[in-house]
Chain A
Amino acid sequence: MKAVCWMGTEKMSVETVPDPKILNPRDAIVRITSTCICGSDLHLYDGYIPTMEQGDIMGHEFMGEVVEVGSGIDQEKLRVGDRVVVPFTIACGNCFFCQNQLWSCCDNTNPNAWIAEKMMGYTPSGLFGYTHMMGGYAGGQAQYARVPCADVGPLKIPAGLPDEKVVFLSDIFPTGYMGAENCNIQQGDTVAIWGCGPVAQFAIRSAFMLGAERVIAIDRVPERLQMAERGGAEIINFEEVDNVIDTLKEMTGNRGPDSCMDAVGMEASGHSFFFATDRAKQALRITLDRAEVLRQCIQACRKGGTVSVPGVYAGSIDNIPFGAAMNKGLTFKSGQTHMMRYMRPLLGRVERGEIDPSFVISHRVPIDRAPEMYRIFRDKLDRCTKVVLDPWANGARAA
């Protein structure tokens, strides 16, 4: 089959690899019909997250048709022919964390748990196509994928809903939604969201669903800011204002947003002194993350407010104004998305026509063009907001 492989920093390549096989009783094999490039894949593309290995298959946002199930799968739950969206986190369903709905903290699905334990104390769940530290599972930017614990994760999709309306239930829609839920929104709240990428777009819309009266979105890419505006947000182009925090103060009568969301993560941009030191340390590989946005969130948030972090971080970060966090009494919420909490209810919203997630898509291309799309998406060229790959379209090369 064809698969997008990580061959080194900024080196992606479509390779012909063997088809996946069932390896465990609860596995299923899915023939992929749509798969996407996620903003978090760009951290791997740029080589900022350790424990990638040359030849790893990328991708964690995919859907398709079940073509094979293992002997441990209950036919009531999943059978050959089912059309499913596959969540990017893998959960066993039976451990303490799964049973407490903390699905992305599953205790059992990371075969390389010891690596993650060395870095974080305990391991989160296994993820598709996202470093060996997070399990080393082959990803879904391919024609087929092996899905472990397939009786827990995959969500069956009724016929009639096109892929492009439901494929984002695999990550970014639930991730944006959980980011908004983590803002602890009360009726009438003001929420500030840093970043207007695809996750943030869903976070903006989810914040309104959860009762926010006002959403302020911060970015510098014109088409993304326009998309945020179409979603009902007020916008700040951080290239055009002197200081984001002062601007937010002014916009909120010196009170500050009730919640601040970091939907950017480890590759933030900015102009501050600390941004410059982050950048230098990252270049020297002393640090993994640039935490400019997180600092601004803490500084900007109103007293007693909530900071929600759906953006991805990998390691330890310096110069976090924790004095501000402590003295203002902030609450922090974060985490990889607990997918299985949100997929079904959000599918309901799509079915009822409350939201059509396909609005974020800017590019639909054959999988063969994935390597160039990584660069275009990273560099925000060609008004690129979201790339959906078709694994079966006739591209430049045959399977």
Chain B
Amino acid sequence: MSSEWEMRRNARDGGTQTELLERWAMMLGGGALTVYALARRRPGIALAAAGGLMAYRGATMGTKKFHARASFAINCPPETAYRMWRALENLPIFMRHLESVRDRGDGRSEWTAIGPMNRRIRWQAEITDDRENEFLAWRSTPESEFQNWGSVEFRRAPGNRGTIVTAEMEYAPPAGALGKAALAVFGKDPEFTMREDLRRFKALIEMHEIPTTEGQPHGPRSTVVSAIDALQPEKRKPSEHYAGERTAAQRRAS
């Protein structure tokens, strides 16, 4: 069991020799890909984005400060947003990296996230603060291998124009393979992930579903784009799979 100090040091430091090499390879490769994509006369957005992400991952690997915060105004009363979030089983619907959350009912819950190559990361969490329709905070239990903290605040927007939902999270991945998996899931751009999660939460409440184009038809893609699509293992299945769950979740919450 690593101490908290060790965990934090691990999060801060660059890692081993191999990791360092991998990191530089990604930075150079990703950078080259981005430059190539942007230099093409035709818009090569997917390619440029993939290259950029790769370079970014390379640059940030092992050195990330794992803290994220995002805020969205949602057109609903605080009660609706609170209820939707407090039913912890709903979280995987809008938090893409989560596979499931099981609420044990005693303030404790079991969380499962999906890492690269379908590797599961599991931990236990407990609610540390719960003010109805206002605030909710949780953290992984001290004996969990993967340490993380989260909170969400629900504040009535000025002029009664809905609710401002602000979510905050912090992660401290452990050393070793589990740490690497956790890093790949939570560490690549926590701020972006948090924003997109919250955006989906907003859509789920306002639109009663999450907008998607995954699974729609298209003509032949270029070979480069097809290759990038094939190389994204963490890409989730078409959302039709989740459509039923979402409707059910919405019904439960409202």
Contact = CB atoms under 8 A, between A and B. Distances in A.
Interface stretch (A54-62, A200-208, A228-236, A241-249): A54-62
Contacts of A9: 41-42
Given A25-B247, A114-B195, A54 B211 contact: no
A20 B238 CA distance: 13
B217 A108 contact: no
Given A23-B240, A24-B239, A51-B43, A148 B211 contact: yes
Please classify how large the interface on chain B is, using the bins under 10, 10 to 19, 20 to 34, 35 or more.
Answer: 35 or more
B199 to A, nearest CB: 6
A25 B218 contact: no
A96 B212 contact: no
B218 A95 contact: no
Interface string B187-215: 00000100110010011001111111111
Taking each of B41, B196, B209, B212, which has the highest tally of chain A beta carbons within 10 Å of its own beta carbon? B209
Which secondary structure dominates where chain A touches chain B? loop
Interface string A124-151: 0010000010011110000000101100
Interface string B34-69: 000000011101100000000000000000000000
A72 B209 contact: yes
Contacts of A22: 240, 243
B219 A26 contact: no
Interface stretch (B19-27, B170-178, B220-228): B220-228
Contact of B208 (A19, A26, A132): A26
Nearest to B215: A23
Contacts of B41: 9, 47, 285
A24 B239 CA distance: 7
B18 interface: no
Given A50-B45, A54-B225, A72-B209, A95 B75 contact: yes
B73 interface: yes
Contacts, number: 139
Contact of A57 (B211, B218, B225): B218
B216 A5 contact: no
B247 A52 contact: no
Interface string A70-87: 111000000000000000
Interface string A1-40: 1010111110001010111111111100000000000000
21 contacts: A7-B219, A9-B41, A21-B240, A23-B215, A23-B239, A23-B240, A24-B209, A25-B208, A26-B207, A53-B45, A54-B42, A54-B222, A55-B220, A94-B207, A94-B208, A95-B207, A96-B73, A96-B75, A113-B199, A114-B195, A126-B211
A315 interface: no
Interface in A93-108: 93-96, 99, 107-108
A384 B158 CA distance: 52
B162 A96 contact: yes
A111 B217 contact: no
Contacts of B240: 21-24
Interface residues of A, number: 55
Given A92-B206, A96-B75, A108-B202, A17 B219 contact: yes
B216 A110 contact: no
Given A23-B240, A53-B45, A111 B220 contact: no
A109 interface: yes
A25 B203 CA distance: 13
Contacts of B212: 23-24, 111
B161 interface: yes
A19 B41 CA distance: 31
B34 to A, nearest CB: 15
A3 B42 CA distance: 21
